[in-house]
Each structure stands twice: as C-alpha cells, then as structure tokens.
Amino acid sequence: MKFLDLAKVYIRSGGGGAGCVSFRREKFIEYGGPDGGDGGRGGDVWAEAVEGLNTLIDFRYQQHFFAKSGQHGMGSQMTGKSGDDIVLRVPVGTEILEEDEDTVIADLTEVGQRVLLAKGGNGGWGNLHFKSSTNRAPRNANPGQPGVERTIYLRLKLIADAGLLGLPNAGKSTFLAAVSNARPKIADYPFTTLHPNLGVVGVDGHEFVVADIPGLIEGASEGRGIGDRFLGHVERCAVLLHLVDGTSENVAEDARTVLTELQAYSPILMDRPRVTALNKIDALDPDTIAERRAELGAEIGGPVHLMSGVAQQGVTEVLRTLWTEVAPTREIIKDEPDAPWQP
C-alpha cells in the first residue's frame, strides 16, 4: 500500500426537498383543504477517525463525496424521505483543513471522533403550513435549502511517542529495524526512506511507538530534497531522537544542519525534549569516538549517547532515556477524566 499523507477532497451536503402543493379530494368532505407535505432533509457530510488505516491513499482514487438530497414532499401530508449522510473514514491523527491549507477545521486524534463538515439543507414546507383563517386554500410552498459545497484538505500526522531525526543515511531506519518488528528499506545511499515508518519498541516491560521519517538536508525548509513535509509526523511526539552519523568527518556541522531546519520549520518542535546519539560507533576506534562525542556535545550543549544500530551497542540505554520522556505523557493521558468528545 502506498503512503499518502495529504489529500484534496470535494464535499457537498444534500439539499432539502421541496414542499408540496396539494389539496384533499375526498368523498363526503365538502370543501377539502390543503394537505401538501414537507420536503425531506438533505444528508450531512461527516468525517470519522477509524482503526486500521495509516494512509490517505483511498482519497487519491475518490475525491468527490456528495451526500443525498432529501425527497420532495407529497400529498396526503406525506413528508419526503431524508437524504442519507456520507462519512469520510480517515486514519487517527488526521487534520482537516480549509481550502487555504492553513486553517484547521478539526484534528481527529482518537478512534471514534467525528466532526460535521457540511450540514444538509432543511426541507421546504408544504402548503399545509400556510393555511390560515383568511387563506383557506394556499397555493404556495417553500423550496428546500441547498446543500453546502466546499473544498477541504486532509493531512495525516502519524501518532507516535518518539520521532527519529537526522541527515540521510544517519542510521534511522537501521535503528528502527533493530528495536522493532518494522522492516523499513535499508541501503547504503541517501534518501532510502521515502515515507514515514512506524515501529513498536519495548524496553523494561514498557512499549511505545517510534516514527522514522525521511532524512533532512540543508535547505529542506525551502523545498530541497524531499523537503520538510514529513516533519509534521513528529509534531505529536513526546520526544525526538536525533541520530548523528559517527563516521562523518564533521559531526557538529551535521547536527547543526538538522537543528537549523527544525528551527525553520517550527520553533515549538525545536523546544520538544530531544535525545542526541552518536551512531555507528562500531566503525570507529575509541579515540575517534571520544573526540567526536566531545565535538557533538559542545555543539548541542547537552549529553551525547553512544550507540550502533547494526551492532546493537548502546541501544537499550537510548530506549530507556526515551521512555523517561514518554512515561510522563502516558500518566497525563491516564489521569485525564473521560468525557464525550464534541464535534
């Protein structure tokens, strides 16, 4: 299945049915009277977060979603049938945006959350509603209200506890494959990862989800390479793991490049808790490791972990550090009172 995290969708709610102009014609009833029924209500357009989806690929093949219109009213005071609603089933973590791709309509972060995107039109009144003491035989009825038509964007941001950052070939996919059952593509050339991957990792009896995104390069915020479009998938993460390739000749510059692009994308994301690890230490001698660790620590102004995803060195210590940042967010969610979600 292809990964798709942005989709443009055209929606339209159903129009209301028109009211009916009708008169009773019954035996032994001398004057009869109006008996036109009301039109049915048009269908609504909803969006709902469901389980089992992790991509918006379905919306590439169907972009138009139109709810049914209400049926017209009929004689004998019969109200028309209401139009059927239509529901857009989206993955958990989907943001719904206005056509400007900036204004957020809703953010569906839990299974079962629903939001009304377009309300159906009301049905028109039949001529029975217009009967009065001075107008015994009204010959007018209301048309139904038209439906609402709009263009929206669906943007998926994956739900993960920890996110991986780094330059291309920093070893992010190798790390994810080493600590989880995820099987991302791994190769010895840049931009092997073309779309985000998720993996469930475990340490000391605890489990959490890690997201791997394509590598960043200098100028990514300006559209170079794959750009920063995938950074949205780590916005929801409680902690970021910044992997730096230890075999690089200038680890400080590599770290600076990633942090600069992170700052350009979102200062809020820049302030997120971050764990830095010098990767691929299995290919270095102890003196080089110490030298580059000190260089990297001076650049980021914090501690630097040593690890190797291939050789499984230092991986457990890194996972434990990540869990110390993830655990408080789990407690916050656990302590929050349960309340029905309102659209």
| CA-to-CA dists, residue 15 to 103, 118, 305, angstroms | 26, 11, 61
194 is in an annotated binding site: yes
6 annotated among ligand-binding-site residues: no
Alpha-carbon separation of residue 127 from 26, 42, 143 (angstroms): 18, 20, 11
Q: Is 184 annotated as a binding residue?
A: no
170 is an annotated ligand-binding site residue: yes
**Cβ count within 10 A of residue 57:** 14
In angstroms, the CA 189 to CA 174 distance is 13
49 is in an annotated binding site: no
Q: Is 27 annotated as a binding residue?
A: no
233 is in an annotated binding site: no
Tokens of 83: 């139009």
166 annotated as belonging to a binding site for a ligand? yes
Q: Is 168 annotated as a binding residue?
A: yes
Longest dimension (CA), the chain: 110
Does the annotation list 171 as a binding residue?
yes
A 10 A CB-CB count for 261 gives 24
Tell the burial category of 64 from Cβ atoms under 10 Å away from its Cβ (0-12, 13-18, 19+): exposed
279 is in an annotated binding site: yes
Residue 107 annotated in ligand binding:
no
Whether 195 has a binding-site annotation, put simply, is yes
167 annotated as ligand-binding: yes
173 annotated as ligand-binding: yes
Confirm whether residue 250 is marked as ligand binding: no
According to the annotation, is 281 in a ligand binding site?
A: yes
122 is in an annotated binding site: no
**Strand 94-97 with 33-34, pairing:** unpaired
Please indicate if the annotation marks 280 as binding a ligand: yes
State the angle between helix axes of 172-179 and 315-335 in degrees (0 to 180), rounded to the nearest 10: 70
36 is in an annotated binding site: no
CA-wise closest residue to 125 among 72, 67, 85: 72
Distance of CA 199 to the CA centre of its chain: 18
Please enumerate, by residue number, every residue annotated as part of a binding site. 166-173, 191-195, 212-215, 279-282, 308-310
Please enumerate, by residue number, every residue annotated as part of a binding site for Mg(2+). 173, 193
Please enumerate, by residue number, every residue annotated as part of a binding site for GTP. 166-173, 191-195, 212-215, 279-282, 308-310
